[in-house]
Structure 1
């Protein structure tokens, strides 16, 4: 799970395994495999970094 921020400043958690793709249009949009899309403040690279950190944590457990 990773923490991201909506444009209004609200922070929420996304299941990293449910992310289908991320695009910057110029806002960053996370598309989930459910079809839901979420616009967030973080840049694409920041989200990728968070996902990698999360995966490393669960793999080392």
Structure 2
């Protein structure tokens, strides 16, 4: 019986914390997507005798 009452108190405390942290009436802000970042990396595949080398060159 004591274990059941302790478990029920823990459940009540956890549920009350969820209600407090959910903040139903919080301020909402419009969605602002992050700008798209474009990199200038170009990858070239070069085959040498039996091996493959990948080179990354940057273009300014």
Normalised by the length of structure 2, the TM-score is 0.22
Bigger strand fraction: 1
More relative contact order, 1 or 2 (CA 8 Å, 6+ apart): 1
